[in-house]
Amino acid sequence: MCPPTHFRVTYSINPWMDPAKPVDSALALFQWEDLRDRYRALGHTVEILDPVPGLPDMVFAANGATVVDDRVLGARFACEERTAEAPAHLAWYQANFAEVQEPRHINEGEGDFAVTTSWILAGQGFRSSLLSHSEAQEYFGRPVISLELTNPHYYHLDTALSVLDGDQDEVMYYAEAFSPGSRAVLRRLFPDALLATAQDAAALGLNAVSDGLHVLLPAGAKGLLGPLRARGYEPVGVDLSELHKAGGSVKCCTNELRSASG
């Protein structure tokens, strides 16, 4: 995670961002600390990346790399406003991991890569390039399933789909964010998926992090709580309203460091 020390909305690269709407920096920091403390209270280790002045979206640590089996694929940002974040994230991974690869193609880390037990799901349409999907498949040696995002509000895969994986290959997603062909692929791979409503998607309810039991998700996504409980999960609502103004929430603020041992 990377603290929102320099978080502001000074440009607009997705439909949620309006530089005219003020961000309460103190509240953003308070909300972010609350998320961090909840992870710690659940027994998870949280590593902290130093924020860089002038990079307001760096708080969205999920975009900085993808880590699978202790192997790191760095990020390369689509929008000019964020390109300088890539080396800052990369330096942290190089200092902490033995195997780190710089990407050849544009990919925004876990913003567009979601890891299930069997596959890596990969989004494209707004940010990550289709070529980055085969690059990830080659590097991680896991099958990558390409999915096309079609609604600009759900510009990253992690705004439209979340891996739950309490058992195996369990996800929740907002079908309307995907192209017809990608919806059919999702139905085929995940016939029992939890389907989110437009309301819960708009609350960024799919921007969630699951440890297989606890699911941390934006507090506003009330419609997901019952269905998650019915499946045996313990949903934990978190208020990240200030980060929401930049189009991000729980998952965007969290990059998962997946080790080979699980």
**Of the candidates 176, 181, 168, 226, which has an alpha carbon nearest to the alpha carbon of residue 201?**
176
Among 3, 49, 57, 205, binds ligand ARG (CB under 6 A): 57
Give yes or no for residue 158 binding ligand ARG (CB under 6 A): yes
- Round to whole Å and give the CA distance between 227 and 129: 33
Give yes or no for residue 144 binding ligand ARG (CB under 6 A): no
Gyration radius from the chain CA atoms: 17
Active-site annotation holder among 2, 89, 133, 156: 156
Active-site annotation holder among 89, 133, 214, 252: 252
Give yes or no for residue 162 binding ligand ARG (CB under 6 A): no
Shortest distance in whole angstroms from residue 23 CB to ligand ARG: 11
Give yes or no for residue 246 binding ligand ARG (CB under 6 A): yes
Binding mask 72-101 toward ligand ARG (x if CB under 6 A, else -) reads ----------x-------------------
* 217: its two tokens: 């998700």
Q: Is 210 exposed, middle or buried (0-12, 13-18, 19+ CB in 10 A)?
A: buried
Angle (CA) 175 148 74, round 5°: 120
- Round to whole Å and give the CA distance between 141 and 12: 35
Please give the residue ranges that form the binding site for ligand ARG (CB under 6 A): 13-14, 17, 57, 60, 62-63, 82, 111, 156, 158-159, 246-248, 252
